[in-house]
A and B are shown apart, each in its own frame.
Chain A
Amino acid sequence: MAEDFHAVTARRAKCRETMIGQGTQSTNQRRHNYVQENVRVGFFTDPTVCIGCKACEVACKEWNEVPDDGFTWIGNSYDNTGRLGASTWRHVLFLEQDCQKGNQITGLMGLSDAQSEDPFRWIFLSDVCKHCEEAGCLEACPTGSIVRTEVGSVFVQNDVCNGCGYCIVSCPFGVIDRRPQPLPDAGGAFKCTFCYDRQKSGLVPACAKVCPTESIVFGRLDDLRARASQRVEQLKQSGYEDAQLYDPQETSVRGIHAFFLILGEPQAYGLPPKPQVPTIYLKSAWTSALLTSIAALIAVLGAFLFFG
Chain B
Amino acid sequence: MTTEQRLQELREQAWDKGIVAGRGVDVTGGPILGRSGYYGQPIVKPPVWTWEIPIYFFIGGFAGMSAVIAFAGLVFHEIDLARTAMWLATIGAGLSPVLLTIDLGRPRLFLNMLRVFKYKSPMSVGAWIVFAFGACVIPGVIAFELHAQHIFGGGIDQFLKIFAHLLVVGSAFWGVLLATYTGVLLGVTTIPAWFLHRVLLPIHFGTAGLGSAAALLELLGHRIASLSALGFLAAATETALWIWLEIDKHGAADRALHMGLPSWLIRGGEFLSGPLALILRLTNLVPLAAIAFLLGAFISRFGWIEAGKVCGRDPEAVFASQR
> A residues near B, CB below 8 A?
74-77, 79, 82-83, 85, 93, 95, 136, 139-145, 160-166, 168-179, 186-189, 267-276, 278-279, 281-282, 284-290, 292-293, 295-297, 299-301, 303-308
Say yes or no: A171-B188 contact (C-beta < 8 A), given A285-B198, A300-B72, A303-B230.
no
Q: Which residue in chain A gives the minimum CB-CB distance to B113?
A: A142
Contacts A139-B120, A162-B109 supplied; 4 other A-B pairs, CB < 8 Å: A142-B118, A172-B44, A295-B206, A308-B76
Q: How many A-B residue contacts, CB cutoff 8 Å?
A: 250
B106 touches A288 (CB 8 A): no
Tell me if A304 and B72 are in contact (CB < 8 A): yes
Cβ–Cβ contact A304 & B195, under 8 A: no
Task: For the complex, give the distance between the alpha carbons of A16 and B117 in Å.
Answer: 52
A292 contacts B180, C-beta separation under 8 Å: yes
With A168-B47, A293-B206, A307-B226 known as contacts, the answer to whether A144 contacts B116 (CB < 8 A) is: yes
Complex contacts, A162 vs chain B, CB 8 Å: 104-107, 109-110, 112-113
B146 within 8 A of A: no
Residue in B43, B187, B322 whose CB lies within 8 Å of A285: B187
Let me know if B195 and A299 touch, CB within 8 A.
Answer: no
The docked-state distance in angstroms from the alpha carbon of A188 to that of B112 is 13
Set of chain A residues within 8 Å of B181, measured between Cβ atoms: 289
Considering only residues 155-197 of chain B, those with a C-beta below 8 Å from chain A are: 172, 176-177, 179-181, 183-185, 187-191, 194-195
Residue contact B72 to A268, C-beta cutoff 8 Å: no
Report the minimum CB–CB distance from B118 to chain A (whole Å). 7
CB-CB under 8 A from A281, the residues of chain B are 187-188, 195, 198
Chain B minimum-CB-distance residue to A165:
B48
Q: Are B113 and A285 in contact (CB under 8 A)?
A: no
Tell me the smallest distance from the CB of B53 to a CB of chain A, in Å.
Answer: 9
Quick one: CB contact mask for B273-302 with A, threshold 8 Å, 1 for yes?
000000000000000000000000000000
Which chain B residues border A136 with CB–CB below 8 Å? 190
Alpha-carbon gap, A287 to B198, bound state (A) = 10
The distance from the CB of B204 to the nearest CB of chain A, in whole angstroms, is 9
Residues of B within 8 A of A267 (CB): 36-37, 315, 319
Assess the B123–A142 pair: CB atoms within 8 A: yes
Contact B189 A278 (CB under 8 A): yes
Bound complex: CA A76 to CA B33 (Å): 11
Q: Compute how far the CA of A69 lies from the CA of B28 in the bound complex, rounded to whole angstroms.
A: 24
Residues of B contacting A285 with CB < 8 Å?
Answer: 122, 183-184, 187-188, 198-199, 201-202
The 9 closest A-B pairs by CB, nearest first: A163-B105, A187-B105, A270-B38, A162-B109, A142-B124, A289-B202, A285-B187, A307-B225, A144-B116
B13 within 8 A of A: no
Q: How far is the CA of A60 from the CA of B254 in the complex (A)?
A: 36
Given contacts A304-B72, A308-B78, contact A288 B202 (CB under 8 A): yes
- Candidates B42, B106, B116, B121; contact of A161 at CB < 8 Å: B106
Task: Determine the distance from Cα of A306 to Cα of B225 in the docked complex, in whole angstroms.
Answer: 9
Task: Sample 8 A-B pairs with CB under 8 A, ordered by A number.
Answer: A77-B31, A161-B105, A165-B103, A179-B105, A267-B37, A272-B44, A282-B122, A300-B210
Contacts of A293 in B (CB 8 A): 176-177, 179-180, 206
The chain A residue with its CB closest to the CB of B73 is: A304
Q: Is the CB of B105 within 8 A of A289?
A: no
Q: How far is the CB of A127 from chain B (nearest CB, A)?
A: 9
Give min CB distance, A287 to chain B, whole Å. 8
Instruction: Say whether B203 faces chain A, with CB atoms less than 8 Å apart.
Output: yes
A82 CA / B177 CA spacing, docked (Å): 40
A284: which of B110, B180, B198, B319 is its contact (CB, 8 Å)? B198
Taking a contact as CB atoms under 8 Å apart, the answer to whether B199 and A288 are in contact is yes
- CB closest residue in chain B, given A268: B38
B312 contacts across to A, CB distance below 8 A: 169
Q: Are B105 and A292 in contact (CB under 8 A)?
A: no
CB under 8 Å from chain A, chain B span 43-80:
43-49, 65, 68-69, 71-73, 75-76, 78
Cα–Cα, bound, A93→B38 (Å): 8
Q: Which residues of B contact A177 (CB under 8 A)?
A: 45, 48
The residue of chain A having its C-beta at the shortest distance from the C-beta of B65 within the complex is A296
A75 contacts which chain B residues (CB < 8 A)? 31
B39 touches A76 (CB 8 A): yes
- State the Cβ distance, B57 to closest chain A Cβ, in Å: 13
